[in-house]
Amino acid sequence: MITFSSVWKTYAKEITAKAHTALGGVSFSLANGETLGLIGANGAGKSTCIKLVMDFIRPDQGSITVFDDQPRNHLLRRRIGYLPETASFPANLTVLDMLRYTGATCQMPPKAIRDKGAKLLTRLNLWEARKRPLRDYSKGMQQRANFAIALLHDPELLILDEPMSGLDPIGRADILALILELKQQGRSILFCSHILEDVDRVAGRVLLLHQGKSLFEGAPAALCEQTGRATLADGFLKLVQGENVHAA
């Protein structure tokens, strides 16, 4: 479904910042029905990978295919549901406006937009607040609204950028349950998260990135075995610290 082949991405030098290599020859793939977790410290390149898949940015070298096509083909995104890290909407819009927009761009008939939208909003406990501006939503509500918008058009591939970021424990549990439900439905999911316990529960495979390089790709259990640690979090720390020592 997604294939990254030796992808390089450098952010150009600016007046206030030096040139910075975000990804240095990263390769990985996501098969149909799989759940792949991107893990790594801040600045590891996780969000860069997601932006490359979504065609927000373009790679300097290497190739990326999504559904056997280039990400530049915008029609691919009809099959992708994207959840951004930070919910950002035009200030005065409601979740209904965004749902209508999503449905219209995905060529859904208006009735289907209405019915599916109502179903999702009810499922995500947003029906009562559907006419309030999105800027008035709490963080948890915004995240759920994002989910509703991402799932409206029944996408095969879900890309979730820090889905649990900023949520309280109840919110996290809700979102986690939703992701597991989507996984059981057979959707492919690519998501990145700092919360390794959640990654461990959800992801079938993980890709560990550190300073733009891939340190591990495989099942969480395999990472634990390789590092001789009991948990994914401990295994992650050992690999990353080892890499830091090696670099020093």
Partner 1 sequence: MPHKFRRILALARLLVLDGLRRHALLGLIALSLAAEAGGLLFFDFVSRDIGRASSDFVISIAWITGFIFLFFHAVQVMALDEERRVIYSLVARPISRGEYVLGIFTGLAFLLFLLNFLLGGLGLGTLLLIKGMVAPVYFSHLSLGAFLLAWTGLFTMQLMLLAVILLFSGLIRGNFPVLLVSLSFYAICSGLPVVRESVAQKMTASVDLARLSKLLLGLTAVFPDFHRLDFKNFIVAADSFPSLDLLLTGFGLALAYTTIFLWLAAVVYQRRDLQ
Site residues for partner 1 per CB under 8 A:
11, 51, 54-58, 74-78, 80, 82, 84, 86-93, 97-98, 100-102, 104-107, 133, 149
CB of residue 40 to partner 1, shortest distance in Å: 19
**Residue 189 DSSP SS3:** strand
CB of residue 192 to partner 1, shortest distance in Å: 15
Q: Please identify, using beta-carbon distances, which residue of 97 and 217 lies nearer to partner 1.
A: 97
Q: Please identify, using beta-carbon distances, which residue of 44 and 87 lies nearer to partner 1.
A: 87
Residue with tokens 């990804």, as numbered in its chain:
23
For residue 209, count CB atoms less than 10 angstroms from its CB and return exposed for 0-12, middle for 13-18, buried for 19 or more. buried
For residue 83, count CB atoms less than 10 angstroms from its CB and return exposed for 0-12, middle for 13-18, buried for 19 or more. buried
d(CA 143, CA 172): 10
Residue among 198, 226, 197 at smallest CA distance from 189: 198
**Residue 58 DSSP SS3:** coil
Q: Please identify, using beta-carbon distances, which residue of 9 and 210 lies nearer to partner 1.
A: 9
Residue among 30, 41, 63, 72 at smallest CA distance from 159: 30
CB of residue 135 to partner 1, shortest distance in Å: 11
CB of residue 216 to partner 1, shortest distance in Å: 28
Tokens of 68: 């056997």
Contact call for residues 217 and 28 (beta carbons, < 8 A): yes
Q: Please identify, using beta-carbon distances, which residue of 157 and 240 lies nearer to partner 1.
A: 157
Q: Please identify, using beta-carbon distances, which residue of 92 and 184 lies nearer to partner 1.
A: 92
Task: Give the sheet arrangement for strand 188-192, strand by strand.
Answer: 80-83, 157-161, 188-192, 35-40, 205-210, 213-218
CB of residue 44 to partner 1, shortest distance in Å: 17
CB of residue 99 to partner 1, shortest distance in Å: 11
Q: Please identify, using beta-carbon distances, which residue of 55 and 243 lies nearer to partner 1.
A: 55
* DSSP run (H or E) holding 79: none
